[in-house]
Amino acid sequence: MMETNKNLIKGLSILTTINESHLERLVDLSKLVIVDEIVEQLEQGQEIVKIDIGIGTLLLHYSGESIKFKFTPNAKFEEDIVNACIHKVNLIDDKVESSLKDKIVNTYKDLI
């Protein structure tokens, strides 16, 4: 089995035309927010930290000697993953096709 490693920031940069350095800054800020929430929950005596990160939930269990992580996708992301695995549905293809169609329609609308 061949493993591929795709960089999320690079993919987002290509799709959005937003510079990678700006997206990396957003990721860095996101990490700061997550770490802040972890510290707050641990200071409140929580051993299990649960954080909604937008596409799912990050669970962290801290026992003082070990840290365990778990990620659970939200319902929509899980559905998208299942459709990708089972039905080979590629949402980027759908998004690009829709965007291209909209651009063509808007171009011809301006000409008429």
The pTM is what?
0.74
The residue ranges of every structural domain in the chain are 74-112
Q: What is the residue-wise DSSP string for the chain?
A: -------HHHHHHHHH---HHHHHHHHHHHHHHHHHHHHHHHHTT-SEEEEE-SSEEEEEEE-SS-EEEEEEE-HHHHHHHHHHHHH---HHHHHHHHHHHHHHHHHHHHH-
Whether pLDDT at 89 is above 80: yes
Q: Which positions ≥6 away from 34 have C-beta within 8 Å?
A: 51, 53, 58
What digits encode the pLDDT tens for the residues 48-86?
A: 999 999 999 999 999 888 999 999 999 999 999 999 999
Q: Which of 37-41, 73-77, 92-96 shows the lowest mean pLDDT across its residues?
A: 92-96
